[in-house]
Amino acid sequence: MRTMTRTVGALAFAGAATTVLTGCGTDAEAEPAGDAAAAATYVDGTYDGPRVENEKGGFQAQVTVEDGAITQVAAIEAGTQDPQSLQINATAIPELAEKVIAAQSADVEAVSGASYTSPGFLESVEGALDQAAG
């Protein structure tokens, strides 16, 4: 019975908060969060980003755009041949690629544990997208 009371209380609070926040809007219509990225379209083609160098080697991305949308992100170069770097990049690069495709932008969160790979690779993706923007 106590769990039910907490659940009802939480739902009541959520409803009240929604009502209060709804009243805080302006006369302008709000755009859903994902629409800004979805509105950006790119020129179809395959674009190589700049080579970005940091302490863990060079990073370079290749971005493919089809029908104005990012459809593929791949690594041309991904750090050093150090076993630890290879291990990190084997998981970080595909995760970053998925994030970029989902967001249709290079403005995505870094992968935890990939503090050199994430900024290097994403900077190269951003350069490729700058080219694709025409």
Q: What is the pLDDT along the chain (134 residues), one digit of tens a residue?
A: 444 433 333 333 334 333 333 344 434 443 444 444 445 689 999 999 999 999 999 999 999 999 999 999 999 999 889 999 999 999 999 999 999 999 999 999 999 999 999 999 999 999 999 999 97
The reported pLDDT for the residue numbered 9 is 39
Tokens at 121, concatenated: 């690779």
pLDDT number for residue 80: 87
pLDDT at 134: 78
Residue 20 amino acid letter: V
Q: Strand 69-78 to strand 57-66: parallel, antiparallel, or no bridges (unpaired)?
A: antiparallel
- What 3-state DSSP class applies to 114? coil
**Would you state the pLDDT for residue 39?**
54
Residue 115 to residue 20: CA distance in whole angstroms: 40
pLDDT at site 104: 97
Q: What is the pLDDT of residue 41?
A: 87
H or E segment and range at residue 48: strand 45-48
Q: Tell me if 100 sits within 8 A of 73, measured CB to CB.
A: yes
